[in-house]
Amino acid sequence: DQQVKQNSPSLSVQEGRISILNCDYTNSMFDYFLWYKKYPAEGPTFLISISSIKDKNEDGRFTVFLNKSAKHLSLHIVPSQPGDSAVYFCAASGGSNYKLTFGKGTLLTVNP
């Protein structure tokens, strides 16, 4: 039972355009959502997060939007750069422990 779903395995965009990565979740107990970026053969690095009390969080070129009623969040990257090419994981946490549940990831390719 996949509680965090990233339905697009890959996404390709042109440099300078917007990249939109999507994530859906099923567990109503989740109250904190994070995006991680991962290069091959390296550990993921934290990118941006959002609490369930907010619907938007922005950090430079990265913005995360949360739609609680739809149980959907998205990561917007604008403008996209070739160095953004990586696998992006959506993750969620909630309840009394600090365990993160990850989606399967979306491979973003930004073409020059």
Partner 1 sequence: DGGITQSPKYLFRKEGQNVTLSCEQNLNHDAMYWYRQDPGQGLRLIYYSQIVNDFQKGDIAEGYSVSREKKESFPLTVTSAQKNPTAFYLCASSKTGSPHTGELFFGEGSRLTVL
The residues that touch partner 1, with contacts defined as CB under 8 A, are 6, 9, 32, 34, 36, 41-46, 49, 89, 91, 93, 97-105
**What's at 61, amino acid-wise?**
R
Instruction: Return the closest-CA partner of residue 81 out of 110, 47, 42.
Output: 110
Phi, psi at 33, each rounded to 5°: -130, 140
| In the complex, least distance from residue 16 CB atom to partner 1, rounded to whole angstroms | 29
Question: For residues 17 and 99, which CB has a smaller minimum distance to partner 1 in the complex?
Answer: 99
> Which string of b and e fits 29-43 if b means at least 16 CB within 10 Å?
ebeebbbbbbeeeee
Cβ nearer to partner 1, comparing 72 with 104: 104
Question: Nearest distance from residue 41's CB to partner 1, in Å?
Answer: 7
Beta bridge partners of 20: 76
Which residue, 25 or 36, is less far from partner 1 as judged by CB?
36
What's the min distance (Å) between Cβ of 42 and partner 1?
Answer: 6
